[in-house]
Amino acid sequence: MNDSSLVVKSTISVEAPLSKVWEVLVAPKYIRQWDNLPQDFDDFYLEEGRVIEWTGMSKLTVTNAEPYELLRLSFYEQKWEKPAAAYDIAYTYRLSQEDKGTLLSLEIGDFGVLVNGQEYFDASVEIAEKSLTKIKSLAENRV
């Protein structure tokens, strides 16, 4: 068990209104362009309580959905040692208004509670960069 904090933090400015960025975060037709969804996931918008599950592998549960402000998805992999409730590992997206659009921040972690947390942290640095860049592109170019 590792006591150090392993949280990925990344921020990007998006030249689009809060509403467009939010739509890209919660609408499956956009999520599929910046992240993976299970093949059997229906076109449900992300809202509090919604579960995205890769059967036998991992799941994300929307634990907070405050439109145009905050989206938090708790993350759990079945191979981890303890039940899901024992971990507080999440993807947290925060949106705030800027002069020229939206500031989008992403935090992923804290992986410090995992034995191999550094591996998850390292992988998540790349995931955060790719996701935020694609979300920005989609929100700025969305019709």
Which stretches does DSSP call E strand in 20-138? 51-54, 58-66, 70-77, 90-98, 101-109
98-126 confidence digits (pLDDT tens): 999 999 999 999 999 898 999 999 999 99
For residue 2, tell me if it sits in a domain. no
pLDDT > 90 fraction of the chain, expressed in percent and rounded: 82
* CATH number reported for the structural domain that contains residue 24 in this entry: 3.30.530.20
Q: How far apart are CA 111 and CA 95, in angstroms?
A: 23
Rounded Cα distance, 44 and 66, in Å: 16
Confidence band of 4 (pLDDT split at 50, 70, 90)? low
Check pLDDT > 60 for residue 78: yes
pLDDT digits (tens, 9 = 90+) for 34-71: 999 998 898 899 999 999 999 989 999 999 999 999 99
Tell which wins on pLDDT, 40 or 142.
40
Residue 34 in tokens: 């910046």
Residue 1 lies in a domain: no
With a cut of 90, say whether residue 16 has pLDDT above it: yes
Domain count, the chain: 1
The answer on pLDDT for 3 being more than 80 is no
Report pLDDT for 2. 44
The per-residue pLDDT for 77 is 93
Mean pLDDT over the full length of the chain: 93
Identify the residue with better confidence: 115 or 92: 92
CB proximity list for 56: less than 8 A, separation 6 or greater: 78
Find the domain containing 16 and state its range.
Answer: 8-141
Q: Judge contact between 117 and 124, C-beta under 8 A.
A: no
Q: Is there a domain that residue 3 lies in?
A: no
pLDDT of 1 > 60? The answer is no
